[in-house]
Structure 1
Amino acid sequence: MLDYVVIGGAQAGLSMAYHLKQMDKKFIVIDGEKEIGASWLNRWDSLKLFTPTEYNHLPGLKFDAPKGHYPTKVEVSNYFKNYVSEFKIPVQLDTLVTSVRKNENGFYVTYKGGEIETKNVIIATGPFHIPYTPPCHTKLSESVLQMHSNFYKNESQLQNGDALVVGGGDSGYQILNELSKDGNRTVYFSGNTNVKSLPQQFLGKTLWWWFTLIGFLSYSKYSWIGKKINSSIQPVIGTDVKEILSRKNVIVQGRTKDALKTDIIFENKTISTIKNIVWATGYRPNFNWIEGLELDGDGYPKNYRGVSNIDGLYFIGLPWMFTRGSATLGGVSKDASYLADIISKKQE
């Protein structure tokens, strides 16, 4: 019988593991991937953090990179591996959890090939679960290469011919930038063009220095300002949206409405020359494997700062769990510290 099972071995899970280690709890971190940091390594090759080094520290260990440096996905993965080694965190990889259910003594955490019994469970699986692709993608011909941004690595995956990027968030604009920057391919774009683009540097300071100064990442989701930020369109950081959209080989279309074979139907036009589509259309949460859990209207667990409706079941790393920074590499530490205090007081 363990004291805790932490499900998820990225920044949220490792932050909680640090505190459990300090409290001398008997625990294990389990993750469905084959190596620590895989959730980052699986993203596209050119991915870099929006936040500079000094804002990416997990509790107890600084990110080993120069101040002002924007780490690559490989550097993040290596940092996680060093973190596990530094604090001798017990990790069990290649362990995909299929169910969590409560019993009279605690919980059964079931995975393919085994089951773990524990008094408490901390869910740290992050905000990205099921890649979402609009239903019309099933109507397209097999001659059109389609992939979700979750599976996009680099332009070499695409076949010759025109491309379409659907989705106007950070991922969509970064991939649009990569596919169109050499000017050799016509790239259509279907997404919000009214988003604000914020530079990574402003008046000699990083954007995150300014965010910290004004408290942008620290406003509670229950506050008036927090609610306003949460309901507004999130800015694209570090990518010059106007410059990308002004390129001659980038053609902006309206919303993608439907598709049929090789025809892609936009709001004002139908185009049949597109050979590649990258769907940067986000993710849907999946917590159906946790028995008895109450979900909100967006499919996320009902909780207050990580404490769920089920005694002994906690969450960490959810989007806007308490603040805008709750799901970020640098922001998760505050939530982990709070949850550790709750756990500690409960044991008194």
Structure 2
Amino acid sequence: MNTYRDANQILDSIIIGAGQSGLAAAYYLKQLNRNFVVIDSNSEIGESWLKRWSSLKLFTPSQYNNLPGYDFPSPKGHYPNKYEVAEYLKMYAKKFEFTVLFNRTASAIKKEKGVFEIFCQDEIFYAQEVIVASGPFHIPFVPGFSKNVSNDVIQIHSKQYLNPDQLKEGNVCVVGAGDSGVQITKEIAETNRKVYLSCAENTFTTFPQEFLGKTLWWWLKISGLLSIRTGSFLGKYIQNRQQPIIGTDVKALLNKSNVFKVGLTTNYKDNKLHFQDTSTEVSNIIWATGYKPDFGMLKFPNILNVNGYPKNKRGVSEIYGLYFIGLPWMQTRGSATLGGVKKDAKYLFEYLKKQNLKPMKSTVQVDKKKEEVLEVVN
């Protein structure tokens, strides 16, 4: 891939994040002949997928995991694992020859004299447009009382979980019963350990990956559920409900003799993990408790909503030239998924095409002490 070197060049666009969302946006920027680069905090394409647990597979078969312009290279009906997804993203970036700069973490994004400044370690990038594609999952969330847990207990977040070999001998508590939590519980239960699954739910909504010879995603698509808009009555209703568990038979899991469902985890004291309904000693805790967004690099007032996500309308912010892609429910429930992001990317493409972006003068002069743009010059 090409290497970007001109520190004071004003790019047409810069994309923050080289995951599926950033690459989909890059595909369409190339159609617009934008002068752009993609920056990413990882050291290679697909690294964020490779860091996830070893047995991870997608819920969606390959035919529903296509980014624009290049189909997922697996047979129809195949459920790709994390290694196949990472390889697909690498192939995608290579095919379209995107300029991707690795090991760059955007710590601040500002706008001075009509030019965006993107601060990354000891570099500053300049661009007319910024597309933030850093994903929805940033800071692993664990409850505050986790600091009270004995040092003799291994505790990790699901983000760091790879396989049961990371755990010590003894029982395990998985805190959180979303898809990740139940999948990890199932995997650990198969090692014959005693596993506690801590969650608030008394009942679970579960969907099989296939039904009556068709994939779940076929049924969701044909029913129109994948196209429900975020602002619609039904869209708001779905967003406020517990997400269904896909592909794991939770009833069968909870019927295993070594799996025990307990209530919400409330505290750790007296060498025991306490739940709403009981307490027990544990040797390992896996916090499958989700993430908190971190968009602190956006140095604009009133840019975030009450949930900590950037305010936007289908990816377009109130700051001219600042856009987002890959956030949950930007348009539909598929907005943050591998197969769903292309619709958001296509909408952003159509929007940007109408902006009729004109090249700016080629470089900037910068006050190095204040790190501010002084003027745009020829």
So what's the TM-score if we normalise by structure 2? Answer: 0.90
2-structure distance, mates of 1:43, 1:91: 22
Pairing partner for 2:198 from 171, 180, 190: 190
| Residues paired across the two proteins, number | 346
**Cα distance, 1:193 vs structure 2:** 4.3
Please provide the CA RMSD for this pair.
0.9
Residue of structure 1 equivalent to 2:108: 99
Percent sequence identity over aligned pairs: 48
Residue of structure 2 equivalent to 1:89: 98
Whether the 8 Å CA contact 1:6–1:30 is kept in 2: the answer is: yes
Q: Decide which moves more: 330-339 or 220-229.
A: 220-229
Whether the 8 Å CA contact 1:56–1:329 is kept in 2: the answer is: yes
Q: Decide which moves more: 259-268 or 73-82.
A: 259-268
Residue of structure 1 equivalent to 2:149: 140
* 1:271-309: CA deviation from partner (whole Å, max 9, x where unpaired): 12x100000000000111111151111111111000012
**Cα distance, 1:262 vs structure 2:** 2.1
Give matches, 1:1-348, under 5 Å. Answer: 1-182=10-191, 184-191=192-199, 192-260=201-269, 262-272=271-281, 274-293=282-301, 294-347=303-356
Cα distance, 1:246–1:259 mapped onto 2, change above 3 Å: same
Structure ID, larger Rg: 2
* Aligned AA (1:290): L
* Aligned AA (1:331): G
**Cα distance, 1:195 vs structure 2:** 2.0
**Cα distance, 1:11 vs structure 2:** 0.5
Whether the 8 Å CA contact 1:147–1:277 is kept in 2: the answer is: yes
* 1:99-129: CA deviation from partner (whole Å, max 9, x where unpaired): 1011113200001121101111000011110
* Aligned AA (2:34): K
* Aligned AA (2:288): A
* Aligned AA (1:253): V
* Aligned AA (1:40): W
* Aligned AA (2:196): Y
* 1:8-48: CA deviation from partner (whole Å, max 9, x where unpaired): 00110000000001111000010000010011111000000
So what's the TM-score if we normalise by structure 1? Answer: 0.98
1-structure distance, mates of 2:226, 2:202: 24
1-structure distance, mates of 2:305, 2:187: 36
Whether the 8 Å CA contact 1:168–1:193 is kept in 2: the answer is: no
Whether the 8 Å CA contact 1:256–1:265 is kept in 2: the answer is: yes
2-structure distance, mates of 1:97, 1:261: 43
**Cα distance, 1:67 vs structure 2:** 0.2
**Cα distance, 1:261 vs structure 2:** 5.4
**Cα distance, 1:97 vs structure 2:** 1.1
* Aligned AA (2:352): I
2-structure distance, mates of 1:300, 1:46: 30
**Cα distance, 1:80 vs structure 2:** 0.5
* Aligned AA (1:71): P
Which consecutive unaligned segments of at least 5 residues does structure 2 have?
1-9, 358-378
2-structure distance, mates of 1:176, 1:325: 25
1-structure distance, mates of 2:53, 2:279: 29
Moved over 6 A (4+): none
* Aligned AA (1:285): P
2-structure distance, mates of 1:85, 1:270: 52
2-structure distance, mates of 1:154, 1:193: 27
* Aligned AA (2:237): K
* Aligned AA (1:307): V
**Cα distance, 1:53 vs structure 2:** 0.3
